[in-house]
Homo-oligomer: A and B are copies of this chain.
Amino acid sequence: MPNVRLALAQTNPIVGDIKGNMAGILAVVELAAKREADIVVFGEMSATGYPIEDLATRESFILDAELAVRNLASELKSKNLGHIAVVLGHPSMASAQDQTGWAIAHNTASVLLAGEVVGRYAKHHLPNYSVFDEYRTFVSGNDLLTFEHKGLKFSIVICEDIWQAGGPVSELGKANTDVALILNGSPFEIDKDDTRLKLVSELAKKHSCAAAYVNLVGGQDDLVFDGDSIMVDSRARMVARLKQFKTDLVCIDIESKDDLKVVDEHHLTKPNDNWQTWNALVLGLRDYVQKNGFKSVVLGLSGGIDSAICATIASDAIGPENVYGVSMPSIYSSEHSKDDALDLANRRGMNYQVQAIADLVTPFENQLALEGLSVENLQARVRGVILMALSNKDGHLTLTTGNKTELAVGYSTIYGDTVGGYNPLKDVEKTLVWELARWRNEYAKGRGEIEPIPQNSIDKAPSAELRPNQVDQDSLPPYDVLDAILDAYVNRRRSSAEIVGYGFDEAMVNKVLTLVDRSEWKRRQSAIGPKITGMAFGRDRRLPITNKYKG
């Protein structure tokens, strides 16, 4: 009987940092060698990071990636690691381009052994929906790759190949596959974990093979790869589950396709949804900050829930000592807005300063003779100028804190509260903001820590405080109703007639839908932020600005 030790390697590559990623891969193989692994499998595009977008259309990038893979094979051999089969993902030049000349590369997995690239698989199903544009950037492959190592037959497929019917994956059984190696770059979405497990289990049963599902981990712009790699045997029993939101390496001994034993410490259960969502937001922010060379963030603290939760996410991500909160009260700001902002900063020990805006706003009002909405927007924009000045001065990344609901209906001042390079709440609707705030406080309490978010920020009626006694519900429906309408319109693409049919007031539905459509130009200029749902604003939802459709 064979006994093959398979290592699942969940790494956090940086897009474009081929040298750094390859050094990381080498270090992981060395670690796996110490644990006596016979084969190590990495995630999709682990050599280059993922998604590489139009970098895939640059010849130099593809050639650099290919060279790095060949060099790794040599280096492994020279370090006496040539006996370990290493499976990793990278782009490679396709033998034929698509007709337009844009797609020149395959999305590839290579098998390295004995100093050589001994096998290659090119992804067949190219996702071209949601945030993915792979039909734009890659040429499709057609053939399953099966190779034997230490008496077991391994076959390779990549990510989308198991989400669609047909293609190489249907050959797994015919190829007498013992273990399917599935390389993935699968971003976090609430509830997606269960879908992945189901897919992998069905694949194992259907083709009677064990299956190793290896995902990437880490934030890349608006995506958060959550890891959570899994191994199932040919009877679809889960054998191992890797950490979520962390790099990880787990070895599994394979006697046969239905006799697997995990070597390393591991877990088979997962924390609850709010824990997962919170950690996705934290990892997304941390990696954006670190991978782009920032050390600190600056954001406005209004005393409201959005800025409070953003500051807490940032504190969890990079430490409160690297978070710079700025209270920017106006003549309309309530006392509690200042008190709550200070309370928030003190709870975790963030940096805090007050910059009153009255003396900055008045000269504009006078010189330009402004009144009404222009003055409301002016206040927000003066705050934006302050935050960007502090960012320029001290090198902070500016965070903008508008939640998904605000972004949907355009309840924000462009170039005002929208300024910033990253928005932690971009895909978090208002009702979920409150839920996460309550959860985070409970979580702290359960660990004997100070609750990070002032209860008053959770409890009070939301207000932009841009005029006296203003509250959000002066101009918007209650947030639970608003989020339900938005879920139907934005996430589920329902028509106004259908949404009215669900029982919502027709005038309210029409008002909300009009607000959403009219705000498209603002969303186009908005900061990126982590996708956590099946339909995030940004590349996940592409609508014209000039658009008169009502329906």
Which residues of A are at the interface with B, using a C-beta cutoff of 8 A? 14-18, 20, 51-55, 57-61, 64, 98-100, 102-103, 127-130, 133, 135-136, 164-165, 219-221, 287-288, 291-292, 355, 359-360, 363-364, 367-368, 370, 373-374, 377-378, 381-382, 384-386, 388-390, 392-393, 414-415, 419, 421, 493-498, 521, 524-528, 541-551
The answer to whether B528 and A545 touch across the interface, beta carbons within 8 angstroms, is yes
Which B-chain residue is minimally distant from A381 (CB atoms)? B385
CB distance from A365 to the nearest CB of B (A): 9
Q: How many angstroms from the CA of A528 to the CA of B525 in the assembled complex? A: 9
Extra A-B contacts (4), CB below 8 Å, given A288-B546, A524-B528: A53-B544, A98-B129, A382-B385, A388-B414
The answer to whether B17 and A548 touch across the interface, beta carbons within 8 angstroms, is yes
CB distance from A539 to the nearest CB of B (A): 8
User: What are 12 sample pairs from A and B whose C-beta atoms fall under 8 A apart?
Assistant: A17-B548, A17-B549, A52-B544, A58-B551, A60-B551, A61-B551, A288-B546, A360-B363, A364-B389, A368-B386, A368-B389, A525-B527
Q: How many angstroms from the CA of A145 to the CA of B390 in the assembled complex? A: 63
The answer to whether A389 and B377 touch across the interface, beta carbons within 8 angstroms, is yes
The answer to whether B99 and A548 touch across the interface, beta carbons within 8 angstroms, is no
Contact of A100 among B17, B129, B374 (CB under 8 A): B129
Residues of chain B within 8 A of A165, CB atoms compared: 99
Residues of chain B within 8 A of A102, CB atoms compared: 129-130
The answer to whether B360 and A377 touch across the interface, beta carbons within 8 angstroms, is no
Q: How many angstroms from the CA of A425 to the CA of B390 in the assembled complex? A: 30
The answer to whether B374 and A392 touch across the interface, beta carbons within 8 angstroms, is yes
In this complex, the member of A99, A378, A542, A544 whose beta carbon has the largest number of chain B beta carbons within 10 angstroms is A544
Pick the 4 closest A-B CB pairs, nearest first.
Answer: A16-B549, A60-B495, A17-B548, A102-B129
Contact of A542 among B20, B99, B133, B415 (CB under 8 A): B133
Q: How many angstroms from the CA of A443 to the CA of B495 in the assembled complex? A: 50
The answer to whether A370 and B385 touch across the interface, beta carbons within 8 angstroms, is no
Q: How many angstroms from the CA of A292 to the CA of B520 in the assembled complex? A: 12
The answer to whether A364 and B377 touch across the interface, beta carbons within 8 angstroms, is no
The answer to whether A55 and B547 touch across the interface, beta carbons within 8 angstroms, is yes
Residues of chain B within 8 A of A355, CB atoms compared: 367-368
In this complex, the member of A18, A54, A494 whose beta carbon has the largest number of chain B beta carbons within 10 angstroms is A54
Q: How many angstroms from the CA of A148 to the CA of B336 in the assembled complex? A: 77
CB distance from A262 to the nearest CB of B (A): 33
Q: How many angstroms from the CA of A58 to the CA of B499 in the assembled complex? A: 13
From known contacts A382-B385, A385-B381, A386-B368, infer whether A546 and B392 are also in contact, taking CB-CB under 8 Å. no
Q: How many angstroms from the CA of A64 to the CA of B548 in the assembled complex? A: 13
Residues of chain B within 8 A of A14, CB atoms compared: 546, 548
Residues of chain B within 8 A of A367, CB atoms compared: 355, 359-360
Contact of A60 among B54, B388, B498 (CB under 8 A): B498
Residues of chain B within 8 A of A99, CB atoms compared: 164-165
The answer to whether B392 and A368 touch across the interface, beta carbons within 8 angstroms, is no
Which B-chain residue is minimally distant from A132 (CB atoms)? B136
Which B-chain residue is minimally distant from A535 (CB atoms)? B54
CB distance from A389 to the nearest CB of B (A): 5
The answer to whether B368 and A393 touch across the interface, beta carbons within 8 angstroms, is yes
Contact of A220 among B288, B292, B370, B546 (CB under 8 A): B546
The answer to whether B64 and A551 touch across the interface, beta carbons within 8 angstroms, is yes
CB distance from A32 to the nearest CB of B (A): 25
Q: How many angstroms from the CA of A14 to the CA of B550 in the assembled complex? A: 13
The answer to whether B393 and A364 touch across the interface, beta carbons within 8 angstroms, is no
Residues of chain B within 8 A of A98, CB atoms compared: 129
The answer to whether A15 and B549 touch across the interface, beta carbons within 8 angstroms, is yes
Residues of chain B within 8 A of A525, CB atoms compared: 525-527
Q: How many angstroms from the CA of A385 to the CA of B18 in the assembled complex? A: 42
CB distance from A307 to the nearest CB of B (A): 18
Residues of chain B within 8 A of A550, CB atoms compared: 16
Contact of A374 among B20, B59, B389, B542 (CB under 8 A): B389
The answer to whether B389 and A385 touch across the interface, beta carbons within 8 angstroms, is no
CB distance from A79 to the nearest CB of B (A): 25
